[in-house]
Amino acid sequence: MRMLIIVAEKASVARAIKEIIEKRGVKAVVLGLRGHVLDSDLEEKFRDWWKVDPAKILELREFKTVIRDSKMYRELVRYFSNNYVEELVIATDNDPEGELIGWEVYTIFRRYNGFARITRMRFNAITQEDIWKAWQEREEGLNMNWVWKSAFRRDFDLATGAAFTRLLTLSTRKRGYRGLISWGSCQIPTLNYIVEREEEIMNFKPKPYWIISVKLETPFGEVFEARSEKIMDYGKAREIFEEVKNVKEAYVVDYRETVEVVRRPKPLRTDELLRDLNKILGISTSKILRIAEELYSRGYISYPRTDTNQWSTSFNFHETALIALNGLKLSLKISIDRPKPLNGSKNDGAHPPIYPTKPYIKDDSVEWSVWEYVARRFLANVYGNDAEIIKQRALIRIGRLDLKTSGSIFKKTGFFEIFPYFKPELKSIPILSSKQVLRVLDVRLLEEKTKPPDRLTESELLKLMERDHIGTDATRADYPDIIVERGYAKRVKKKVKPTKLGMFLIKCLREVSPRLVSPETRRMVEEYMEKISAGSLSYEKALDTCLQIYHKLYSELASRIDVVADSLIKSIEEGGD
């Protein structure tokens, strides 16, 4: 009996595929993985940390393949060993990491079946239309450029992470510390952002300044406040205050109104999904991504790992709008017959932007909040109008002192009616006219101080990582969690604060070489990965070049490791945050 086997990346996706294709008369065994089945590791001789110089790891160019999920491996072998298998269909996620998982499945299959056809299903949403189309348009083989890109990331991170972590950990263990000092080419630059901000805060010296604040009233009884510029010298501020404190009238020198257009949001990418929902919900970006992936697996949204903010000309806006409106139960009247999407400039060549694919029944869950955001953003982008804000600015004179005041009011609320997140709270001032006389109600001299910058939020941290190409849209959300788990940082009131150990680690590494902590070094690695993906550079050449660069950095660190270890031990012994 001929057998058809389909392998998906998750059990929920496998169930959906099976249900959809069986309705169309296709009989198949559909298996769901739990992520990677195979992995890379160091050869056995490198397993003993104390016996092997960690620098030797950076000289490796080949790595051992190991079984990562033994239970799933055995299940695959059980099915692949069947001599009646006619075709293997790989239906893992349509991205480089999914392609590598597909290659693992491919490799295992070929050990037991060298003749059966191997094809690839590609889809970006778990809908009947997308899955059936992917089935009908199965491709021969895999995208090997994607496979090599992900393999490079895996092997490069393994080699550099193992070498640097062992060097730092062993040096501190010789001094009695029993913990792990972890190093990673993405986690360290991520920590560096947080430490740099903390250093700005610690080094900040507040400076006093003075403001003259005047309460004014129009002839129509409207009361508002206008303020002077900052005055850094108290003597001068006091002198001006004495001149104007008893003045009874002021007049308008200039009043202007301008209209500022607030563009509706562009199609949704992963980075924006994570940043926005971190602000809205106050939960970690890694948790948000896990929820988004679960919604995708259950067929509620499209694939959530994407760097595309452009819609294809063939996208079915009408059907997606009906899904969004059905789930949201919006009372607003939205005409969905004339889509007018505002496209961005990014296209990762693999996935569309994120959009709703099935109505979600409203409840009090975080899942609903994530789905609601996706649905509202889609409607705002495709059917919403740009908002318009009237900006008011006035220059007022009291005696010889110029005062300024400003306000804002909506002219058109536009897309904010659909997408209320981050809608600004506006406060207007009275409509004034040039030379208008105003009554002075109160004059005050106020002392204020300059303020340090705030600690970074997780949303701000991800924005810096995207700017500097640290990680990918699929991996950035992991690094804030990693540095917290390592004891290098902690979350305090929705901000990320470095611990003393994190501060000392960055300080020590930076003194050895700024390239050990700066984003530029990892950015180079990301650029090499993109070249592999584009087919312009081989895995072997990229790995050799990057490991040579990091080998030099390792040598610089090794030459000063005693100083670094002593400093780290000091920070550990002192404890505290």
pLDDT at 335: 78
> 166, exposed or middle or buried, with CB in 10 Å at 0-12, 13-18, 19+?
buried
Q: Mean pLDDT score of the chain, rounded to an integer?
A: 94
Q: How far apart are the first and last CA of the chain?
A: 66
| Identity at 213, one-letter amino acid code | S
What is the helix, strand, coil percentage profile of the chain, to 5?
45, 20, 35
Report the alpha-carbon distance of residue 262 to residue 536 in Å, rounded: 40
Question: What domain count does the chain have?
Answer: 4
DSSP secondary structure of 366-386: HHHHHHHHHHHHHHHHHH---
pLDDT-derived band at 288, boundaries 50, 70, 90: very high
- Asked whether residue 8 falls in the same domain as residue 129, the answer is yes
The verdict on residue 252 lying in a domain is yes
Mean per-residue pLDDT for 253-279? 96
Mean per-residue pLDDT for 176-204? 95
Q: Which CATH number goes with the domain that contains 329?
A: 1.10.290.10
Report the alpha-carbon distance of residue 509 to residue 185 in Å, rounded: 12
* Helix, coil or strand: residue 66: strand
Report the alpha-carbon distance of residue 543 to residue 148 in Å, rounded: 11
Q: Percent of the chain beyond pLDDT 70?
A: 99
- Asked whether residue 7 falls in the same domain as residue 112, the answer is yes
Helical H runs in 487-538?
Answer: 500-512, 519-534
- Report yes or no: 181 and 172 within 8 Å, Cβ to Cβ: yes
pLDDT at 576: 53
- Asked whether residue 159 falls in the same domain as residue 173, the answer is yes
Q: Which CATH number goes with the domain that contains 529?
A: 1.10.460.10
Q: Residue 293, Cβ neighbours under 10 Å: how many?
A: 19
Mean per-residue pLDDT for 289-301? 95
Contacts with 420 (C-beta within 8 Å, 6 or more apart), sequence order: 376
331 pLDDT more than 80: no
Q: What is each CA distance from 530 to 10, 153, 479, 503, 551, in whole angstroms? A: 26, 11, 20, 32, 22
The verdict on residue 55 lying in a domain is no
- Asked whether residue 80 falls in the same domain as residue 129, the answer is yes
196 pLDDT more than 90: yes
Higher pLDDT, 573 or 553: 553
435 pLDDT more than 90: yes
577 pLDDT more than 70: no
Q: Which CATH number goes with the domain that contains 107?
A: 3.40.50.140
- Report yes or no: 59 and 551 within 8 Å, Cβ to Cβ: yes
| Identity at 405, one-letter amino acid code | T
301 pLDDT more than 90: yes
DSSP strand pairing (387-398 vs 3-8): unpaired
pLDDT at 530: 94
Contacts with 192 (C-beta within 8 Å, 6 or more apart), sequence order: 506, 510, 517, 518, 519
Residue 526 has φ and ψ, to the nearest 5°, of -65, -40
Range of the domain at 190: 149-203+454-574
Write the pLDDT tens digit of every residue in 117-150. 999 999 999 999 999 999 999 999 999 999 999 9
- Asked whether residue 166 falls in the same domain as residue 190, the answer is yes
The verdict on residue 50 lying in a domain is no
Q: Which CATH number goes with the domain that contains 393?
A: 2.70.20.10
The verdict on residue 48 lying in a domain is no
CA 168 to chain centroid? 29
Q: Where does a domain end: 395, 428, 449? A: 449
- Asked whether residue 7 falls in the same domain as residue 138, the answer is yes
- Asked whether residue 125 falls in the same domain as residue 165, the answer is no
Mean per-residue pLDDT for 454-472? 93
- Asked whether residue 408 falls in the same domain as residue 276, the answer is no
- Asked whether residue 238 falls in the same domain as residue 315, the answer is no
Residue 365 has φ and ψ, to the nearest 5°, of -85, 160
- Report yes or no: 470 and 519 within 8 Å, Cβ to Cβ: yes
Report the alpha-carbon distance of residue 97 to residue 150 in Å, rounded: 6
Report the alpha-carbon distance of residue 552 to residue 1 in Å, rounded: 58
The verdict on residue 57 lying in a domain is no
pLDDT at 471: 87
What tokens were used for 269?
Answer: 């990418």
Helical H runs in 452-518?
Answer: 458-467, 478-485, 500-512
Higher pLDDT, 330 or 137: 137
Report the alpha-carbon distance of residue 275 to residue 187 in Å, rounded: 18
pLDDT at 372: 98
The verdict on residue 227 lying in a domain is yes
CA 241 to chain centroid? 49
176 pLDDT more than 80: yes
- Asked whether residue 123 falls in the same domain as residue 160, the answer is no
The verdict on residue 64 lying in a domain is no
Write the pLDDT tens digit of every residue in 493-516. 889 999 999 999 999 999 999 999
User: 121-125, 225-229, 284-288, 569-573: lowest mean pLDDT where?
Assistant: 569-573
* Helix, coil or strand: residue 341: coil
Write the pLDDT tens digit of every residue in 202-242. 999 999 999 999 999 999 999 999 999 999 999 999 999 99
The verdict on residue 53 lying in a domain is no
575 pLDDT more than 80: no
Report the alpha-carbon distance of residue 316 to residue 526 in Å, rounded: 34
What tokens were used for 464?
Answer: 């810096």
The conformation of residue 516, written as its DSSP 8-state character, comes to G
pLDDT-derived band at 88, boundaries 50, 70, 90: very high
Q: Where does a domain end: 142, 157, 185? A: 142
Strand partners, 374: none
- CA neighbours closer than 13 Å in the CB half-sphere of residue 178: 0
Q: What is the pTM of this model?
A: 0.88
Closest CA to 540 of 103, 43, 61, 57: 61
407 pLDDT more than 90: yes
The conformation of residue 457, written as its DSSP 8-state character, comes to B
- Asked whether residue 350 falls in the same domain as residue 438, the answer is no
What tokens were used for 406?
Answer: 């400003």
- Asked whether residue 17 falls in the same domain as residue 129, the answer is yes
Q: Where does a domain end: 345, 360, 383? A: 383
> 112, exposed or middle or buried, with CB in 10 Å at 0-12, 13-18, 19+?
middle
pLDDT at 119: 97
